[in-house]
Chain A
Amino acid sequence: MSETPTELDVLKTTERWAGEGRKLALATVVETWGSAPRPTGSHLVIDEEGNFEGSVSGGCVEGAVVSEALDVIGAGEPRILEFGVADETAWRVGLSCGGRIRVYVEKVA
């Protein structure tokens, strides 16, 4: 078996991190419109220190998902995030590719 796909397997990483006692949230792309960078079902796992593996976009919105994930780890309730095109008011996080995605973030417990 090749090594790389194993190392990059987010769900295996999630299981391993959980086994190490780390507090985790799992983010999943549940819906996409237009040219979204990652397909539905893609995962990103985040620990309570902000370490993460995987991706829900091409790196465009991961930062925002990580900070939301930290809240989810604290609060325990899942939440749904939505990201669209990065607009002119540059402070908003968005997707430069012009797509739109919905991301479900849940605690791993």
Chain B
Amino acid sequence: MDRALLSALNEERAARRAAVVVTELASGRQRLVREAEVTSDPLSAEIEKTIRSGKSGIAETPDGEVFLNAHLPPARIVAIGAVHISQALAPMAKIAGFDIEIVDPRTAFASADRFPGVTLHAEWPEDVLKQRPFDAYTAVCVITHDPKIDDFPLISALKTGCFYIGALGSRKTHAKRVERLIAAGIPQSSIDRIEAPIGADIGAANPGEIAVAILASVIEAFRKRKMFADRRGETEAA
């Protein structure tokens, strides 16, 4: 592998953009195809399939065997709400291999003391998302209970096609939330993608257990590959 290609690849990975390394196995010739360049590549159909499925593999071409290595952004969890559940969720998510970030404008909640070693944004989601928008490889968990904080990132997650979207709250709370989302013009089919109550149904009864339930749901969504937004046709042009 050419070192310039390697640096360019790592740059794409750091920026959370999908890229595919195309290697002609017989000759060793190699090229990097960035997500934005796929349509102009001669192997665009095969490359698109690789990105969509997330599965690397060999394609047979007139030039012989070509290996397509898909480099997709690692999954990350963004928790809206620096609450008790998030304090349990953050270390668990790391152990399971996810990056996690916590967003909460309430500085009393979003303090480094409560979240040692965790990426924390003590700002409004509206402001954080301008710098760090969601993508298809993001799981969004809204857990503040406060519509002023929760609704904006929830709508943003639905429009982006995040691979998992969960919202904390009782069925009654969620019914009110659904009313607000409908009023905001979100189609029912999108609203149905929200997991509410949040987390796998294991009877979780305290913050630590709810964190386990949330993580189980996120892993299921990730591993069962519900994560590819274009399958659902929900992605708004970024």
Contact = CB atoms under 8 A, between A and B. Distances in A.
A, B in one complex: yes
Interface of A: 1-2, 4-5, 11-12, 14-15, 18, 26, 28, 30-31, 39-41, 77-78, 80, 104, 106-109
A77 B28 CA distance: 8
Secondary structure call for the B interface: mixed
Contacts of B28: 77-78, 106
B146 to A, nearest CB: 27
Given A26-B1, A30-B58, A31-B57, 10 more contacts: A2-B97, A11-B10, A14-B6, A15-B6, A18-B3, A28-B67, A41-B69, A41-B71, A104-B67, A106-B28
A109 to B, nearest CB: 7
Nearest to A78: B28
Contacts, number: 64
B2 interface: yes
Contact of B6 (A2, A31, A108): A108
Given A106-B28, A108-B3, A5 B119 contact: no
Interface of B: 1-3, 6-7, 9-10, 13, 23, 25, 28, 30, 55-58, 67, 69-71, 74, 94, 97-100, 119
A26 B94 CA distance: 27
9 contacts: A15-B7, A30-B23, A31-B57, A39-B56, A41-B56, A41-B69, A104-B25, A106-B1, A108-B1
Contacts of A14: 1, 6
